[in-house]
Amino acid sequence: MTRPTNAERLQKVIARSGLTSRRGADSLIVEGRVSVDGRTARPGQRVDPASVEVLVDGIRLPVNPDLVYYLLHKPLGVISTTQDPEGRATVVDLVPSRPRVFPVGRLDADTTGLILLTNDGGFANLVTHPRYGITKTYDVLVDGPTTSRHLARIRRGVELDDGPARVVALRKVGSDGHRSHLEMSMSEGRNREIRRLWEALGFRVVRLHRTSVGPLRDRALAPGEWRCLEVGEVRAFYSHVVGATDHRAGREMSR
- Residue 66 among the catalytic residues: no
Residue 5, CA distances (Å) to 8, 50, 52 in order:
9, 11, 13
Check 48, 84, 93, 108 and give the catalytic one: 108
From its phi and psi, is residue 128 left (phi > 0), alpha (psi between -120 and 50) or beta? alpha
From its phi and psi, is residue 138 left (phi > 0), alpha (psi between -120 and 50) or beta? beta
Q: What is the C-alpha separation between 100 and 95, in angstroms, rounded? A: 9
Q: What is the C-alpha separation between 61 and 175, in angstroms, rounded? A: 44
Q: What is the C-alpha separation between 114 and 73, in angstroms, rounded? A: 5
Which amino acids are annotated catalytic? 108
